[in-house]
Structure 1
Amino acid sequence: MSDLPALDVLLPIGRARLEPLPGEPELIALFGAGPVVRANMVSTVDGSATGANGVSGSINNAADFRVFRVLRALAEVVLVGAGTVRAEGYTALDVPSDLRDARSALGLPADLELAVVSTSGDLPDALLDGARPPLVVTVADNPALGGLRDRIGPDRVLVTGDAHRVDPRAAVAALAERGLRRVLAEGGPSLLARLVDADVLDEVCLTWTPQLVGGPAGRILNQASWLSPARSVEPLHLLHADGVLLGRWRVTRLGA
């Protein structure tokens, strides 16, 4: 844990500094582990969701990695778009060994599932053919649907939409039916925008990395139209380490 930084608690006021303790009990208690659809994203100060190489890994940092580990340990499934899987090189997910006991104490399963949103099923062979293939969230008119079911098993293919578009509400419901109610959405920006637009996102965790990169990169939400209405968010906490700010907000649902 010595390579992970301590985190100053800026909000709520009066909280102690969070040292990187074995099992991360303080950080886990701060985030909580109730059933939730939570997004985790990173951005530069000038609003870019990636660096010049087009991936978020180039703007990550040790403080972000500390929270990232805990958020995954608190999730039952990581939901991510196929483009992000290909760009970021996703493989089957493992919970860090030092967080497994804390995860077990919360009644969470030992394995962390990966669910990939893909209307085509075009995913890396190494991921589909691995010992732990992902859940694939897809559409009824996917031309490769039959082959995908044969390849990874029909129980790992979730049909949650048609007309070349996954329904975010149906996707979250399908995961919940499998007992996967603690969802961590890791992007990309198009998928995150659709989750917000469908009113299924409960929380946004966002790290601001102290960089200015310019360029044409998109923001953490990416869609052609404005959200209508815009969604209000309530700050839950704000952490700091070495110029990095890590925030967490509750998203106000339209029906709330």
Structure 2
Amino acid sequence: MRRLYPSAGPAGEDDEDDEDLDSLAGLADAYAYPAAEAGRPYLRANMVSSLDGAAVADGKSAPLSSPADMRVFGVLRALADVVVVGAETARREGYRPARARQDFAERRADAGQQPAPAIAVVTRTLDLDFGSPLFREPLTPTLVLTGAAPTRERLVAARAAGAEVVVAADPAGDGEGVDPARVVAELAARGHTRLLHEGGPRLLAQFAAAGVVDELCLTLAPLLTGGGAPRIMNGPGVPGPARLVPRSVLEEDGFLFTRYVRAPWPPEA
């Protein structure tokens, strides 16, 4: 993997920098969360897109991925306290619990993190398979964030599966949708300040419109799909629209790994 932006520095330093990016430790340093005041949450989104803007192919993101993309995916998870995902995406992609990785054990321990990030599923209806591995086999208990007070039946099922149900309703909505800002606040209150958002497109658009996305890590796949697949954000418009600034661009096998952040960066307390 090589760095395209920013340039690595004077001639002769590029090779050393590229070798570092080929290691998990080097990638982790390249994608490290910014230092911020204790308790301040930072939400990073990670998505993949084809050249023509599709977020999925044949209904899933995997056909757009690559070995390098999966390395970056794994590193971003290994750096996070919690992974936020919509219920539809969790079902479609067959989400399982995040696993502890020995390569990151010392780094996570030094940062005061659990051995593996928690998965936080955002759902309007709480219509989830609580018998799935996501709920029955997590190293770190799975969280369920919903906008409505769940029925007693679903609440009992969630608790029996070991999940923590968090109500984060949008006060300006219909009582069923979640409030992205409250989701972030509720997770931060539980010690999860390094947030990783993995979609789907509808949920990510809601978070972006609410102004709580601090960073976008976008893999641009050298593929054309056509069709009517959704974009990486497929929901409400972002006021402004908001402008991000490039932080880095990496490349391997024709795939571009871009990182955009909100200014100023690092974020102010």
Per the TM superposition, whether the score is higher than 0.5 is: yes
Alignment of 1:17-96 (within 5 A): 17=18, 18-21=20-23, 24-34=24-34, 35-51=41-57, 53-96=58-101
AA matched with 1:74: L
Q: What's the CA shift string for 1:42-61, capped at 9, x where partnerless?
A: 0011100011x201011110
AA matched with 2:245: E
Whole-angstrom distance in 2 between the partners of 1:8 and 1:94: 27
AA matched with 1:205: C
- In structure 1, list runs of 5 or more residues that go unmatched: 1-6
AA matched with 1:246: F
Question: Number of residue pairs matched?
Answer: 243
- 1:134 Cα offset (Å): 1.5
Q: Does 1:182 align with 2:194?
A: yes
Whole-angstrom distance in 1 between the partners of 2:157 and 2:215: 32
Q: What's the CA shift string for 1:86-112, capped at 9, x where partnerless?
A: 000001111333222233233322131
Select 1:208's aligned residue among 215, 220, 230: 220
Select 2:108's aligned residue among 92, 103, 110: 103
CA distance 1:99–1:150, change in 2 (3 Å): closer
- 1:252 Cα offset (Å): 4.6
- 1:199 Cα offset (Å): 0.8
| Same amino acid, percent of matched pairs | 38
Q: What's the CA shift string for 1:208-228, capped at 9, x where partnerless?
A: 1110010110100011x4322
Name 1:251's counterpart in structure 2: 262
User: TM-score of the superposition, structure 2-length normalised?
Assistant: 0.84
Q: What's the CA shift string for 1:51-75, capped at 9, x where partnerless?
A: 1x20101111011111111101110
Q: What's the CA shift string for 1:176-214, capped at 9, x where partnerless?
A: 011011110000011111111111111000001110010
Name 1:9's counterpart in structure 2: 3
AA matched with 1:77: V
CA distance 1:10–1:136, change in 2 (3 Å): same
CA distance 1:193–1:109, change in 2 (3 Å): same
- In structure 2, list runs of 5 or more residues that go unmatched: 10-16, 35-40
Whole-angstrom distance in 2 between the partners of 1:140 and 1:60: 35
Whole-angstrom distance in 1 between the partners of 2:22 and 2:134: 35
Whole-angstrom distance in 2 between the partners of 1:110 and 1:156: 18
Name 2:156's counterpart in structure 1: 147
